[in-house]
Amino acid sequence: MSQKKIDKQMKQIEDKRAKGRIFKKDSSFLKTEENVFDVPTLKLLYTLSNKGFISELGGSISTGKEANVFYATGNEGEVAVKIYRINSSTFKAMDPYILKDPRFTHIRHSRKDIVFAWTQKEFQNLLRIGKAKIRAPKPITCDRNVLIMEFMGKDGAAYPSLKDIRMDDEDARRIYEQVIEDMRRMYVRASLVHADLSEYNILIDPENAEVIIIDVGQAVTLNHPNARDFLARDIENIKRFFKKYGISEETKDILERIKQKKEEDEIIELDEFDEEPVEPSESDEEEEEEEIGYDNIDDKRPNNTDK
């Protein structure tokens, strides 16, 4: 969506608000792409565009279970905008990852708060992962349910995921080694377990066949009570994928390699990015719903059947 279009939609909202004529159902015209653009999200995108992070919101890159990813350009160049849906029916699936994460025990547990914390967790995880010298999108900013990060692709096209590339056994072996090394760096340097690692969340830069790790919202620190199980699952996923390329390493050997410290490793302290969590920006969403509830609106539209 272009800046112009966002401006236009914002103006429509403002006009209606001024006339006291916003209805819950009115916001539905913004709910394209499966509810991504609810009114608060649209306002947030507007704010982010005022700050220059987004000057042109381009096409959808992906529609996932919990989030949509869009291509955009802004003052940081090409970016990917990941928008978590507040109304995602699968948000419950986030609970085990975030509720037991010692870094996030202070958050209130409403649906919205979980989604905001989740977005922030992905931002912080991307920082840690970048610092551990793992190739991953550089996080640019995050607010509420929106994360803006470096776009991993070329000329507006995202790099292919590992599942979509063709490779011979030799290429596969090199990529496998990179993946294991990234898991090791994540574990040893960043104290993180990805927890959703598979051929879907690994992109390949076709220029140099380099591995790029994405989708780290659910990654947990090693002190998370389920960290071991998540790591075991990640290893099994990677083993399963590479088996068809003739790679079969014992789980215990992989685990040993992942946990192995090397001289060049710089350990990132656990509290390094988590001392001052980014506060989500204010929204008048709640007040709005109260102020404009159906009861106190005199709706004169002819075909209104909502009363």
Ligand X SMILES: Nc1ncnc2c1ncn2[C@@H]1O[C@H](COP(=O)(O)OP(=O)(O)O)[C@@H](O)[C@H]1O
Active-site annotation, residues = 196, 215
Q: Does residue 122 interact with Mg ion by CB under 5 A? A: no
Diameter of the chain by CA atoms? 74
Which of 158, 222, 232, 247 touches ligand X (CB under 6 A)?
158
What part of residues 41-100 is at the interface with ligand X (CB under 6 A)?
A: 61-62, 64, 66-67, 69, 80, 82
**Stretch 174-203: interaction string toward ligand X, x if CB under 6 A:** ---------------------------x--
Q: Does residue 165 interact with ligand X by CB under 6 A? A: no
Q: Does residue 151 interact with ligand X by CB under 6 A? A: yes
Token pair belonging to 265:
């490793």
Q: Which residues contact 76 (CB under 8 A, 6 or more apart)?
A: 53, 140, 148, 150
Contact partner, 69, from Mg ion, ligand X, none, Cβ < 5-8 Å per class: ligand X
Q: Which residues contact 103 (CB under 8 A, 6 or more apart)?
A: 121, 124, 221, 270, 274
Compute the C-alpha angle 226/230/231, nearest 5°: 115
Q: Does residue 234 interact with Mg ion by CB under 5 A? A: no
User: In which residue are the tokens 């990132």 written?
Assistant: 268
Q: Does residue 214 interact with ligand X by CB under 6 A? A: yes
Shortest spacing between CB 87 and Mg ion, in angstroms? 19
Rounded to whole angstroms, the Cα distance separating 172 from 25 reads: 51
Which residue lies nearest ligand X, judged by its C-beta? 64
Q: Does residue 201 interact with Mg ion by CB under 5 A? A: yes
Shortest spacing between CB 25 and ligand X, in angstroms? 28
Rounded to whole angstroms, the Cα distance separating 33 from 62 reads: 10
Contact partner, 61, from ligand X, Mg ion, none, Cβ < 5-8 Å per class: ligand X
Counting Cα atoms < 13 Å in the Cβ hemisphere of 168 gives 1
Q: Does residue 234 interact with ligand X by CB under 6 A? A: no
Which segments of the chain are extended strands (E)? 56-63, 67-74, 77-84, 139-143, 146-150, 153-154, 157-158, 192-193, 202-205, 210-213, 220-221
Using the minimum distance from each CB to ligand X, give the nearer residue, 8 or 92. Answer: 92
Q: Distance of CA 218 to CAs 19, 134, 226, 232, 273, Å?
A: 43, 17, 12, 15, 16
H-type helices in 36-139, by residue range?
Answer: 39-50, 95-98, 111-131
Shortest spacing between CB 38 and Mg ion, in angstroms? 22
Shortest spacing between CB 289 and ligand X, in angstroms? 28
Contact partner, 62, from Mg ion, ligand X, none, Cβ < 5-8 Å per class: ligand X
Interacting residue ranges for Mg ion, rule: CB under 5 A:
201, 215
**Site residues for ligand X per CB under 6 A:** 61-62, 64, 66-67, 69, 80, 82, 137, 149-153, 158, 161, 201, 214-215
